[in-house]
Chain A
Amino acid sequence: SQKIEQNSEALNIQEGKTATLTCNYTNYSPAYLQWYRQDPGRGPVFLLLIRENEKEKRKERLKVTFDTTLKQSLFHITASQPADSATYLCALVTGGGNKLTFGTGTQLKVEL
Protein backbone atom coordinates (compact mmCIF):
# COMPACT_ATOMS: atom_id res chain seq x y z
CA SER A 1 0.00 0.00 0.00
CA GLN A 2 1.03 3.61 -0.43
CA LYS A 3 2.39 5.38 2.63
CA ILE A 4 3.97 8.70 3.51
CA GLU A 5 5.59 8.63 6.93
CA GLN A 6 6.81 11.48 9.05
CA ASN A 7 7.99 11.17 12.62
CA SER A 8 4.84 11.43 14.71
CA GLU A 9 6.76 12.34 17.83
CA ALA A 10 7.48 15.99 18.42
CA LEU A 11 11.03 17.13 17.81
CA ASN A 12 12.42 19.38 20.53
CA ILE A 13 15.66 21.22 19.85
CA GLN A 14 17.59 24.10 21.31
CA GLU A 15 17.68 27.52 19.68
CA GLY A 16 20.56 27.88 17.26
CA LYS A 17 20.77 24.16 16.45
CA THR A 18 19.83 22.56 13.14
CA ALA A 19 16.49 20.78 13.02
CA THR A 20 16.20 17.81 10.67
CA LEU A 21 12.81 16.37 9.78
CA THR A 22 12.29 13.18 7.77
CA CYS A 23 9.71 12.20 5.18
CA ASN A 24 9.70 8.62 3.91
CA TYR A 25 7.35 7.24 1.29
CA THR A 26 6.54 3.87 -0.24
CA ASN A 27 4.84 2.87 -3.49
CA TYR A 28 4.91 6.37 -4.91
CA SER A 29 7.05 7.77 -7.70
CA PRO A 30 6.57 11.52 -7.30
CA ALA A 31 8.10 13.93 -9.73
CA TYR A 32 7.93 16.64 -7.09
CA LEU A 33 7.86 16.88 -3.32
CA GLN A 34 6.77 19.88 -1.28
CA TRP A 35 7.16 20.98 2.32
CA TYR A 36 4.56 23.06 4.15
CA ARG A 37 4.45 24.76 7.53
CA GLN A 38 1.30 24.72 9.64
CA ASP A 39 0.73 26.83 12.74
CA PRO A 40 -2.02 25.98 15.26
CA GLY A 41 -5.46 27.01 14.02
CA ARG A 42 -4.22 27.88 10.54
CA GLY A 43 -3.96 26.30 7.14
CA PRO A 44 -0.66 24.98 5.77
CA VAL A 45 1.69 27.42 4.09
CA PHE A 46 4.02 26.39 1.25
CA LEU A 47 7.76 26.51 1.97
CA LEU A 48 9.72 24.66 -0.69
CA LEU A 49 9.36 22.42 -3.71
CA ILE A 50 12.01 20.00 -4.94
CA ARG A 51 12.00 18.12 -8.23
CA GLU A 52 13.00 14.48 -8.65
CA ASN A 53 16.12 15.45 -10.58
CA GLU A 54 17.24 17.86 -7.85
CA LYS A 55 19.26 16.49 -4.97
CA GLU A 56 19.06 19.59 -2.83
CA LYS A 57 17.16 22.90 -2.64
CA ARG A 58 17.85 25.85 -0.38
CA LYS A 59 15.89 28.90 0.70
CA GLU A 60 17.40 31.13 3.35
CA ARG A 61 17.78 28.91 6.46
CA LEU A 62 15.85 26.03 4.91
CA LYS A 63 17.32 23.09 3.01
CA VAL A 64 15.51 20.15 1.46
CA THR A 65 17.02 16.99 0.04
CA PHE A 66 15.25 14.41 -2.13
CA ASP A 67 16.60 10.88 -2.57
CA THR A 68 14.36 8.97 -4.98
CA THR A 69 16.39 5.79 -4.46
CA LEU A 70 15.86 5.82 -0.69
CA LYS A 71 12.37 7.31 -1.20
CA GLN A 72 13.16 9.92 1.38
CA SER A 73 13.22 13.68 1.80
CA LEU A 74 15.02 15.51 4.59
CA PHE A 75 14.04 19.02 5.68
CA HIS A 76 16.62 21.06 7.56
CA ILE A 77 16.24 24.35 9.41
CA THR A 78 19.61 25.83 10.35
CA ALA A 79 20.13 28.29 13.19
CA SER A 80 16.67 27.46 14.47
CA GLN A 81 14.61 30.03 16.34
CA PRO A 82 11.57 29.75 18.64
CA ALA A 83 9.53 31.29 15.79
CA ASP A 84 10.27 28.15 13.75
CA SER A 85 8.10 26.12 16.15
CA ALA A 86 5.27 24.67 14.10
CA THR A 87 4.13 21.46 12.42
CA TYR A 88 5.89 20.68 9.15
CA LEU A 89 4.17 18.62 6.48
CA CYS A 90 5.66 16.91 3.48
CA ALA A 91 3.48 16.41 0.43
CA LEU A 92 3.99 14.34 -2.67
CA VAL A 93 2.78 15.81 -5.92
CA THR A 94 0.56 13.24 -7.63
CA GLY A 95 -2.34 13.17 -10.07
CA GLY A 96 -0.30 14.48 -12.97
CA GLY A 97 0.88 17.46 -10.96
CA ASN A 98 -2.45 18.72 -9.74
CA LYS A 99 -2.91 16.86 -6.48
CA LEU A 100 -1.03 16.63 -3.22
CA THR A 101 -0.82 13.66 -0.88
CA PHE A 102 0.29 14.70 2.60
CA GLY A 103 2.21 13.06 5.37
CA THR A 104 0.90 13.34 8.92
CA GLY A 105 3.39 16.04 9.86
CA THR A 106 6.05 16.48 12.52
CA GLN A 107 5.72 19.04 15.30
CA LEU A 108 8.90 21.02 15.90
CA LYS A 109 9.52 22.90 19.15
CA VAL A 110 12.51 25.19 19.37
CA GLU A 111 13.40 26.03 22.94
CA LEU A 112 15.40 28.95 24.27
Chain B
Amino acid sequence: DAEITQSPRHKITETGRQVTLACHQTWNHNNMFWYRQDLGHGLRLIHYSYGVQDTNKGEVSDGYSVSRSNTEDLPLTLESAASSQTSVYFCASSEGRVGATGQETQYFGPGTRLLVL
Protein backbone atom coordinates (compact mmCIF):
# COMPACT_ATOMS: atom_id res chain seq x y z
CA ASP B 1 0.00 0.00 0.00
CA ALA B 2 1.12 3.55 -0.71
CA GLU B 3 2.19 5.51 2.31
CA ILE B 4 4.04 8.53 3.62
CA THR B 5 6.78 8.06 6.19
CA GLN B 6 8.83 10.41 8.32
CA SER B 7 12.12 9.87 10.10
CA PRO B 8 13.22 10.12 12.75
CA ARG B 9 10.04 9.97 14.81
CA HIS B 10 11.75 11.65 17.75
CA LYS B 11 14.83 13.88 17.78
CA ILE B 12 16.68 15.79 20.48
CA THR B 13 19.26 18.29 19.34
CA GLU B 14 21.18 21.28 20.63
CA THR B 15 20.78 24.92 19.73
CA GLY B 16 22.84 25.86 16.70
CA ARG B 17 23.04 22.39 15.15
CA GLN B 18 21.82 21.62 11.66
CA VAL B 19 19.00 19.08 11.61
CA THR B 20 17.34 17.34 8.67
CA LEU B 21 13.96 15.67 8.89
CA ALA B 22 13.12 13.15 6.20
CA CYS B 23 9.81 12.68 4.41
CA HIS B 24 9.18 9.93 1.86
CA GLN B 25 5.95 9.18 0.03
CA THR B 26 5.09 6.30 -2.27
CA TRP B 27 1.85 7.82 -3.60
CA ASN B 28 3.75 9.39 -6.53
CA HIS B 29 2.14 12.70 -5.59
CA ASN B 30 3.34 15.94 -7.12
CA ASN B 31 2.52 18.11 -4.11
CA MET B 32 4.38 17.83 -0.81
CA PHE B 33 4.10 19.99 2.29
CA TRP B 34 5.80 20.53 5.64
CA TYR B 35 3.84 21.78 8.66
CA ARG B 36 4.65 22.38 12.27
CA GLN B 37 2.07 21.92 15.00
CA ASP B 38 2.22 23.83 18.26
CA LEU B 39 -0.29 24.19 21.06
CA GLY B 40 -2.53 27.15 20.40
CA HIS B 41 -1.38 27.57 16.80
CA GLY B 42 -2.57 24.48 15.06
CA LEU B 43 -0.84 23.33 11.89
CA ARG B 44 1.21 26.00 10.15
CA LEU B 45 2.72 25.64 6.70
CA ILE B 46 6.52 25.86 6.55
CA HIS B 47 7.43 24.99 2.95
CA TYR B 48 5.78 23.24 0.05
CA SER B 49 6.62 21.84 -3.36
CA TYR B 50 4.48 21.28 -6.45
CA GLY B 51 7.03 19.07 -8.18
CA VAL B 52 10.68 18.23 -8.70
CA GLN B 53 12.94 21.28 -8.40
CA ASP B 54 10.00 23.41 -7.20
CA THR B 55 9.96 24.79 -3.64
CA ASN B 56 7.93 27.58 -2.06
CA LYS B 57 7.89 29.35 1.28
CA GLY B 58 4.93 28.97 3.57
CA GLU B 59 3.67 30.96 6.51
CA VAL B 60 6.57 30.19 8.89
CA SER B 61 9.59 29.49 6.68
CA ASP B 62 12.31 31.47 8.48
CA GLY B 63 15.11 29.15 9.64
CA TYR B 64 13.97 26.24 7.44
CA SER B 65 14.83 25.06 3.95
CA VAL B 66 13.71 22.24 1.64
CA SER B 67 14.88 20.74 -1.62
CA ARG B 68 13.04 18.48 -4.07
CA SER B 69 15.32 16.35 -6.19
CA ASN B 70 12.81 13.56 -6.86
CA THR B 71 9.07 12.97 -6.59
CA GLU B 72 9.21 10.81 -3.46
CA ASP B 73 11.22 12.92 -1.01
CA LEU B 74 11.06 16.38 0.54
CA PRO B 75 13.63 16.71 3.35
CA LEU B 76 13.26 19.63 5.75
CA THR B 77 16.45 21.22 7.07
CA LEU B 78 16.78 23.44 10.10
CA GLU B 79 19.91 25.39 9.29
CA SER B 80 20.74 26.34 12.88
CA ALA B 81 18.26 24.89 15.34
CA ALA B 82 16.66 27.26 17.84
CA SER B 83 14.57 26.49 20.92
CA SER B 84 11.62 28.16 19.17
CA GLN B 85 11.73 25.34 16.64
CA THR B 86 10.82 22.75 19.25
CA SER B 87 7.62 21.36 17.79
CA VAL B 88 5.92 18.43 16.11
CA TYR B 89 6.59 18.39 12.36
CA PHE B 90 4.23 16.82 9.84
CA CYS B 91 4.85 16.07 6.22
CA ALA B 92 1.93 15.71 3.81
CA SER B 93 1.36 15.01 0.14
CA SER B 94 -1.46 15.40 -2.35
CA GLU B 95 -2.00 14.46 -5.96
CA GLY B 96 -3.16 17.78 -7.24
CA ARG B 97 -5.52 20.69 -6.91
CA VAL B 98 -8.58 20.07 -4.75
CA GLY B 99 -11.60 19.57 -6.94
CA ALA B 100 -9.61 18.96 -10.10
CA THR B 101 -8.33 15.44 -9.72
CA GLY B 102 -10.82 13.72 -7.47
CA GLN B 103 -8.04 13.25 -4.92
CA GLU B 104 -9.48 15.72 -2.51
CA THR B 105 -7.17 15.34 0.42
CA GLN B 106 -3.71 15.71 1.77
CA TYR B 107 -2.20 12.56 3.23
CA PHE B 108 -0.18 13.13 6.38
CA GLY B 109 2.81 11.30 7.79
CA PRO B 110 2.99 10.22 11.45
CA GLY B 111 5.02 13.27 12.52
CA THR B 112 8.45 13.96 13.98
CA ARG B 113 8.70 15.29 17.51
CA LEU B 114 11.72 17.62 17.71
CA LEU B 115 13.17 19.00 20.93
CA VAL B 116 15.85 21.70 20.69
CA LEU B 117 17.79 22.17 23.93
Contact = CB atoms under 8 A, between A and B. Distances in A.
| Binding partners A and B | yes
A42 B109 CA distance: 8
Interface stretch (A9-17, A63-71, A74-82, A93-101): A93-101
A8 B39 CA distance: 10
A92 B111 CA distance: 21
A15 B94 CA distance: 34
B98 A98 contact: yes
Nearest to A45: B108
B110 A104 contact: no
A82 to B, nearest CB: 23
Chain A interface size, as a band, is 20 to 34
B110 A43 contact: yes
A62 to B, nearest CB: 14
A61 B43 CA distance: 26
A32 B98 contact: yes
Nearest to A103: B42
Chain B interface size, as a band, is 20 to 34
Nearest to B9: A41
B51 to A, nearest CB: 11
Nearest to A100: B106
Given A43-B92, A97-B97, 20 more contacts: A32-B98, A32-B99, A32-B104, A34-B104, A42-B111, A43-B108, A43-B111, A44-B90, A45-B108, A89-B42, A89-B43, A93-B98, A93-B99, A97-B100, A99-B48, A100-B106, A102-B42, A102-B44, A104-B41, A105-B42
Interface of B: 31, 33, 35, 40-45, 48, 50, 90, 92, 94, 96-100, 104-111
Interface of A: 4, 8, 31-32, 34, 41-46, 49, 51, 89, 93, 96-105
